[in-house]
Amino acid sequence: MSASDQEQTVTDSPSQQQPTRIGGLTPRQARRVRIAAASVLMVAVAAVLAVRLASRSSVLVVGVYGLALILCGGVIELSRRGRTRLGTWLLVAGLAAAVAADAFLIP
């Protein structure tokens, strides 16, 4: 091998390739999308909590929506640390549980 062949081999190393794309998004873009989605849902849950408290004040209402707000914050932190799939599943399952609790538990 000549010196130019060795230089070409060094520049074609895997560490210099583009980031792996998952579903059309790079991992960094996926984290940012999930952080933005959790933030928007956090604002929406806070607005629903305010409306529910205006119509009826109950410790159960505060508990259900308070846990949903904590869940959204946890998902933001998980996404920030790179655990986007786990965060997405927790967000979907947690918000579905909050909606079900609102429909069936809260009078």
CA distances from 77 to 45, 57, 84, 93 (A): 17, 30, 10, 17
User: Whole-prediction pTM value?
Assistant: 0.70
19-74 pLDDT, tens digit each: 666 568 888 998 999 999 999 999 999 998 899 888 877 888 888 889 999 999 99
Dig out the tokens for 5 from the structure. 């062949």
Whether the CB-CB separation of 79 and 87 falls below 8 Å is answered with yes
80-102 pLDDT, tens digit each: 998 888 988 999 999 999 889 88
Geometric angle at alpha carbon 91, from 86 and 94, rounded to 5°: 115
